[in-house]
Amino acid sequence: MEPTSVIGTKNKKGQVFTDPRIMMREAPRTPSFYTGSEVIKEAIRRASIDVMIAYPITPQSEAAALIGELFAEGYIGDYFRGESEFAVMSQCAGAAFGGARVFTTTAGPGTMRAMENFPMWAGARLPIQCIVTCRGINSPLSIQPDTIEISYLMQTGMLVWHAETAQDFYDWILVGYMVSEEPEVHLPLALCCDGFFVTHTKDVVDLTPTDMCLPPYDPYRSPVPCMDMECPPVRMMRDPFIMKSNYISYATHASWQQEVWAAAERSRKHTIAWLNGLIETEDVEADVLIVTSGTAVSQGREAIRLLADEGIRVGLVKIKTLRPWPEEEIKEATKHATHIIVPEFNVIGWMAKEIKATIPRSERVIAGPRVCGGMTMPPEIIVEEIKRALGVRSGTLAGRG
Amino acid sequence: MSLDYVKFAPGFEQFMPKEYRDMVEHGPFGKKTTVSQMGSFKEILEEHPMCAGCAMTLFIRLAIIAFPNPEDTITVGTAGCGRLAISQAAIPFVYGNYGDQNGVASGLSRGLRLRFGDKPKDVVVIAGDGGTADIGFQQVLHSWFRKERFTTIMLDNEVYGNTGGQESGMTTRGAVLKMAPLGKKFEKMDMVTMAKVAGCSYIATVVPNNPRRVESVIKKAVLIARDIGPTYIQAYTSCNIEYAIPTDKVMEDAKTVEDDRYKFTEYVSDEAKAYLAERYGYKEFMPKAVSASVTTA
């Protein structure tokens, strides 16, 4: 039976289901001045979402509420407020098991509260997209930007991308579904950004036309049966592996975990095509490189500009995807560098650890500067870190003795 | 109703496992089977790893037979003994996380309604007393308050059986179990009253030794949940291992407990009564005057 294409037909709001390649790469863009939260809303307006489930937690509450407005306008199939992040992620799982395209958002302690769900989503091969607007998870309570939760998400089997700007966010929300829903991938995506810095600041973002939207999700392209009793063969399982303590059961679990991670690996080629590479580089012939992700990249750009004024040449590697991890790309981009500076918005320095584990001669990595708990990262402290590494004398920054 | 998926692709009959062939040729899909026909058809749940004499298993078998449309039914559950049997049934079973079955069912029910509209896709949660009243309590109550349209069945063995016999919220006061070395300090949770307060449209308490009654309550609960609102069935399904009930006394225990403290109760909201009468022809819920006029006509 020939599948019937929906491309070119209209949804109930009059939006045309458009080939994503045309929508994202060829359609005219309109510059718009929006907050990050509003950008999330505008991306979701065009994403043909079936179900969005919301729960308030700073700094994602505004975006989650704005999507409620989209539901009221008729752009979303179903929307409601769950009773906790754990419940919301479970509800998202249920909707995805039933064959719906699902979207949600969370942050910080909400991410941690929901954590049991993320490896379950990956293992169940549910291509849910969860926006993570990172904030502190520590005690005493903090609502301020901090990226430590990403380090937990990276071990769940989900795809994990880290947006630098609102423009990244807009484009990646839309293409994220295209990567996640590939039959050979079919994994959830944690699309992360640095809370407040991206969600609550205004920026000019080039939007695709309002009257174009992504084609709807087809649950029958899933590599595992959709739980709708329409998908042959009917499932008959004897002796669930949970009950067995033998080699076969262990091997089954092991091979499935390996398959989940292999699926993340298989996302590379799709991600490279949609994001134009897993990393972006500038002047990697320089001896000194700043290598990081998120808004630390933006601060790095400022530091590079300040250093250029003093005649110090520094290159940049922006890491866009954390899972899959761009191992070969980072090795190649850093092969000439003598000093690799890794600024981060968290106390543990998970990015520096990942890079050290990737490249030869890891002593080249300088794991800092790091700020956390909501501290901002003035470009000057990156400048100072680089000068210290190069043995260049610099003026002492106020407050740093 | 889509039954094609349980049929063989042409030429594959001889290669399918015997159990699958039995299910296609002698199973209940697309037929109206009843508990009184047990033994004459291939059940959706037959083989299972449960303990000898397990009352819970009998109840699950009866409940599945009672599903009005097994070919369009999806079960959802969580950790516990029941899961070990239900996950071997020939209909899908969704296991999410510990205690999140009513959250998963909320999303599943809504997702299926979006995709299939008025075509019934019945979502049935089957979970234990720990999964329902303890770890899953928040999501259970909130799904009821939200008026999510699916059925919740509690397999109440009054203990954490699967993990080896720990006290649960549904354990009776005074019972000495693991983690309650001096006896349980508080009363058995009154989930029936909570279901009523939270707005369930149908609530019943049953024991498994009356198969026709089990069949009746399950059928009503699933039908009402299609259109009216959440429904809740609480079934006493003793753990003969942890409560040391001799295998041949399990049904006797169920009868004793039923007489003593687990009586059959049934609440049907007025809206649900009218729905069952009008949509499915339940005579017991037809308004008397209407029944009389029908008889006269």
Look-up of token digits 């799982």: A93
Contacts of residue A229 in chain B, CB cutoff 8 Å?
Answer: 2, 5, 71-74, 91-92, 121
Contacts of residue B163 in chain A, CB cutoff 8 Å?
Answer: none
pLDDT of residue A401: 43
Look-up of token digits 């505008």: A42
| pLDDT per position as a tens digit, B56-72 | 999 999 999 999 999 89
Contacts of residue A120 in chain B, CB cutoff 8 Å?
Answer: 96-97
d(CA A276, CA B199) in angstroms, rounded, equals 52
d(CA A358, CA A331) in angstroms, rounded, equals 7
Tokens matching residue A19: 């080939």
d(CA A137, CA A118) in angstroms, rounded, equals 17
Q: Which residue of B has its CA nearest to A237?
A: B88
Tokens matching residue A121: 């989503």
Tell me the residue type at B123: V
| pLDDT per position as a tens digit, B232-260 | 999 999 999 999 999 999 999 999 999 99
Mutation choice for A interface testing from B74, B114, B145 by most A CBs within 10 A: B114
Q: Is A246 part of the contact surface with chain B (CB cutoff 8 Å)?
A: no
Tokens matching residue B221: 């609960």
DSSP B179-223: TBTT---SPPP-HHHHHHHHT-SEEEEE-TT-HHHHHHHHHHHHH
Closest CA to A383 of A371, A396, A374: A396
What residue ranges in A268-345 does DSSP mark as E strands? 279-282, 288-292, 314-319, 321-323, 339-341
Residues 63-92, chain A, touching B (beta carbon < 8 A): 77-78, 80, 82-84, 86-88, 90-92
Q: Which domains does chain A have, with CATH numbers?
A: 16-221 (3.40.50.970), 279-390 (3.40.50.920)
Q: Is B192 part of the contact surface with chain A (CB cutoff 8 Å)?
A: no
d(CA A225, CA A334) in angstroms, rounded, equals 43
pLDDT of residue B16: 83
Across-strand partners of B12? none
| pLDDT per position as a tens digit, A228-260 | 988 765 554 455 566 667 788 888 889 999 999
pTM > 0.90: yes or no: yes
Give mean pLDDT, residues A25-45. 97
Q: Which residues of A281-297 are buried (b: 16+ CB within 10 A; e: fewer)?
A: bbebebebbbbbbbbbb
d(CA B96, CA A93) in angstroms, rounded, equals 8
d(CA A81, CA B29) in angstroms, rounded, equals 36
Contacts of residue B112 in chain A, CB cutoff 8 Å?
Answer: 98-99, 228
Count the Cβ atoms, other than its own, within 10 Å of residue A309.
7
Which of A106-110, A237-241, B43-47 bottoms out in mean pLDDT, i.e. has the lowest?
A: A237-241
Contacts of residue A117 in chain B, CB cutoff 8 Å?
Answer: 96-97, 100
Give mean pLDDT, residues A197-220. 96
Q: Is B12 part of the contact surface with chain A (CB cutoff 8 Å)?
A: no
Report CA dihedral (A225, A15, A50, A267) to the nearest 10 degrees.
50
Tokens matching residue B100: 């999140």
Kindly list the domain boundaries of chain B, sorted by start residue.
49-296
Count the Cβ atoms, other than its own, within 10 Å of residue A273.
13
**CA distances, A22 to each of A27, B19, B73, B245 (Å):** 6, 49, 40, 68
Nearest to A120 among B20, B96, B110 (CB): B96
CATH architecture of the region B49-296? 3-Layer(aba) Sandwich (3.40)
Report CA dihedral (A366, A382, A349, A262) to the nearest 10 degrees.
-80
